[in-house]
Amino acid sequence: MKKVVGLILFLLVISACKTNPFTGKSTLNFYPNNQIFPTAFAQYNQFLEENKVVKGTSEAEMITKVGQRISTAAERWLTANGYPGYLKDYKWEYNLVSDEMVNAWCMPGGKIVFYTGILPICQGETGVAVVMGHEVAHALADHGAQRMSAGTLQQAGAVIGNVAIKDEQTLNIFNNAYGIGTTVGGMLPFSRSHETEADRIGLQIMAIAGYNPDEAAELWKRMKANSGNQAPPEFLSTHPSNDTRINNLTQWAPAAKQEARKFGVTTFQ
């Protein structure tokens, strides 16, 4: 049984690689778009039905406007770099939801929600573009499917261990150590790498859309102030620390502007 599970795991890994066009790296992804997108779209629609969606206000219209500019910029970049059909299955949608939570998120396939609680920190359209670029980048890089794939591998490893270990005491030790080890040493760093990747891709596409990438670091300074510096240590978090993000975004902004110039964008709002 252990050999069978191990063989299945091996075959899954070698058959599940997909290239990220923005990084050129192979990524782990067991879930094709036609499998994961319909489920994500249905969950998104259910969420909208159960929450207060803001319609017809200037803020709601701004969310849609910025989202369309960012996704159009992403498509321009992909087409110019040899991926003209990459977004054919995406169904972009941008909604503002009334909630004090300081957050925004994106589901696979381009379904995005902004909470009204993040708007004061955004301080206008360019700040929204920073957040929107990051969320669109998650969709472009298939981060949702990658997290699901990593979770599948984590579960498969646990199954192998539970099949192989017969002694109950040893099994208990394994399960405790495996859970902590694969989370702190695997899943959390994996998640942080996605956030960093989305920051970098998002910075690039917001610049191509005509938004000033220098404002990304400024937004995260405001996010840091809003948090009151209350955050877990980075190695125990799904996200990089505020200081790490601020430093990264500051360093990457000039390259994002340079990339935007390739598309004729030389001034930024």
d(CA 198, CA 11): 28
Residue 5's pLDDT is: 41
Token look-up 């790296």 returns: 25
Residue 84's pLDDT is: 94
Residue 147's pLDDT is: 73
Residue 204's pLDDT is: 97
Residue 254's pLDDT is: 98
- Residues of the chain where predicted confidence (pLDDT) is lower than 50: 1-15
Residue 24 CB contacts under 8 Å (≥ 6 apart), including other chains: none
The pairing of strands 17-19 and 53-54 is unpaired
Assigned CATH for 30-261: 3.40.390
Tell me the β-bridge partners of 19.
Answer: 26
Residue 185's pLDDT is: 63
The domain segmentation of the chain, as residue ranges, is: 30-261
Residue 33's pLDDT is: 86
The set of catalytic residues is 135
d(CA 134, CA 137): 5
